[in-house]
Amino acid sequence: MTENIMKITGLSHRYGASWAIRDINFEISQHGVLGLLGSNGAGKSTTMNIMCGVLNQTEGVVEVGGHSMQTDSIAAKKLIGFLPQNAPLYLDLTVKEYLTHCAHLRLIPPRQVTSAVYKAMSKCGVTHFANRLIANLSGGYRQRVGIAQAIIHEPRLVVLDEPTNGLDPNQILEVRKLIKEIGEEKAVIFSSHILPEVQATCSHIKMIENGRMVFADSMDAFNNYIVPDSLIVNLKNAPGIELLERIEGVTKVEALSDDRFRIHFSNGQELAERLIAMSVTHNWRMQEISFEKSSLDQIFAQLSQKPTSATA
């Protein structure tokens, strides 16, 4: 058994003259939830379609459990469960009928089909809907059925493309919990363009932007990049913007209202302390001071200029 379930080397793909992804390299360990993060159009879905054998790459190598996706695709695909962004559900079938069909597609021996179906339904919390038409399920339970078809054959790697899209907050929490449980037994790739979703679910993260890998490390390491870049300040007796801009450490001031300002800085903690002291001295009557976090676009821009590694 290999130490890593998947290894991707020099992966590139183009549609016509345009490269969708370029020189992607990384490995995936046997267990845990890995977040694949990127903005819409960054190349996430192309990467996942290639690693699952749905799309043939222009360049590069994908190995799953030591099997090449190009030369030994059947053996490689047997180790993967895939839930694409649009779940491949047959709405006119019941949950049990659909999962039985999926079990046969996955070449599960006939005598094991029933137990495999009920095990997948139990894992995903849909056993009580076994005889209900999929068309009559809520969005959250349809996603659960989609995840059930991805794990019914006990794959070693489960790939989930935007699995929480379109769900309400309660459904999102339920699907997050399910994904974490699966990650205790298998390797899971969780793709999203929503940063909080990846932060809440994953222990490691790989980020693709403009078709290139710009970050590959732990979530803790990634969080080091999410730093404050401005302060929001409410001053009931505010001075003019010109005076605020002359304060040491301030690089720019934006007036959000008559008494509320966004203050950009070069050293946030020292500036916050300085503003509090000056507010007391000059009777500015400070009502609020809080750090404002970098946006995801800013993080992408920052990481795009950093060297990256391909650690799992």
- Mean of the per-residue pLDDT values for the chain? 87
Residue 75 has pLDDT above 50, yes or no: yes
DSSP state of 193: S
Residues 110 and 248 in one domain: no
Residues 179 and 264 in one domain: no
Residue 247 has pLDDT above 60, yes or no: yes
Domain of 257, CATH number, reads 3.30.70
Domain residue limits at 240: 228-293
pLDDT band (50, 70, 90) for residue 268:
low
Instruction: Tell me how far apart the alpha carbons of residues 41 and 17 are, in angstroms, rounded to a whole number.
Output: 16
Residues 34 and 125 in one domain: yes
Residues 247 and 267 in one domain: yes
Q: What is the DSSP string of 28-58?
A: EESSEEEEEE--TTSSHHHHHHHHTTSS--S
Share of the chain above pLDDT 90, in %: 55
Domain of 164, CATH number, reads 3.40.50.300
Parallel, antiparallel or unpaired: strands 286-293 and 228-235: antiparallel
Residues 202 and 247 in one domain: no
Pair 271, 263: CB distance under 8 Å? yes
Residues 54 and 31 in one domain: yes
pLDDT band (50, 70, 90) for residue 198:
confident
Residue 72 has pLDDT above 90, yes or no: yes
Q: How many domains does the chain have?
A: 2
Residues 125 and 246 in one domain: no
